[in-house]
Amino acid sequence: MSLQIHPIKAFTDNYIWMLINQSNHQAIVIDPGQAAPVIEYLNANGLELTAIWITHHHHDHTGGVAELQEHFPMTHIVAHNDHGVAQDQAVKEGSTVNAWCHAAQVWEVAGHTANHLAYVLDIDGKKHIFCGDTLFSGGCGRVFTGTIEQLFTSISRLASVSEDSLFYPAHEYTQSNLRFGLSIEPDNIAIQDALNDATAKAAQGIPTLPVSGLHEHAVNVFLRTTEPSVIAGVSAKIPLPDDKPLTVFAALRELKNNF
């Protein structure tokens, strides 16, 4: 079976990730905030929607679910009980969902929201992580209904996966995040190069995603809270009572909120 992962653009900067089984022309979508671009892509490519996976309850991730169910009434909805959709399969930490012959583990990655989930799909021993708004390339999500402590724990968990794992965030925030990263680590060559690459891709309409764990460890300051250069960059902008990773992380998030 050949499985393809394709980004569908929605709103101004959302990505709805689509898993495509090329053998049977079926598809799964993750976080369809809008139905129209999904339906258009399915029809243009002769695909049948069979499942929807939800990471969290925000409308730009769930707004298209009802309309997609109307068009594809056999669609299987996977979500947490608190995601605000009429799910067929309620999932939480430790649950497993299937993408044809591949299994995805459900991880709780709270912080952005209290019941945020990630879907960790294993394909031939390699992790493909659909992380919603928890981790972005070069950044992380804001705290809404979760806590900064939860977000730090979730980011640390995601950072612990193997370096060849691929992350599939739900927004194209890469350029802004990398500019923020350079405000903290102005001499970080990896961030400079990544921003140049992201800028070039944006000019051509090419997604900067997915990204590898190896890449994020080099360019994402939220994963680099023990680095002296990050600690120095943060402490130059905001007083730090100590240099514990959580303290640095919380300060980074506050700085990014106002960047």
Q: For 19-75, how does the pLDDT look when each residue is reduced to its tens digit (9 = 90+)? A: 999 999 999 999 999 999 999 999 999 999 999 999 999 999 999 999 999 999 999
Strands 48-53 and 26-30: parallel
Strands 14-21 and 26-30: antiparallel
CA R_g for the chain: 18
On the CB side of 188, CA atoms within 13 Å amount to 29
- Per the DSSP assignment, residues forming a β-bridge with 211 are 167
Mean pLDDT of the 151-162 span: 98
In Å, what is the CA distance from 240 to each residue of 64, 236, 245?
43, 9, 11
- pLDDT for residue 2: 79
User: Which CATH superfamily groups domain 3-257?
Assistant: Ribonuclease Z/Hydroxyacylglutathione hydrolase-like (3.60.15.10)
Give this prediction's pTM.
0.97
Mean pLDDT of the 184-204 span: 98
* CA dist., res. 55 & res. 141, Å (int): 13
Q: Which two tokens stand for residue 151?
A: 């977000």
* CA dist., res. 239 & res. 248, Å (int): 10
Q: For 99-127, how does the pLDDT look when each residue is reduced to its tens digit (9 = 90+)? A: 999 999 999 999 999 999 999 999 989 99
* CA dist., res. 259 & res. 89, Å (int): 39
The strand ranges marked E within 109-159 are 117-123, 126-132, 135-136, 139-140
- Three-state SS for 182? helix
Residue 225 has pLDDT above 80, yes or no: yes
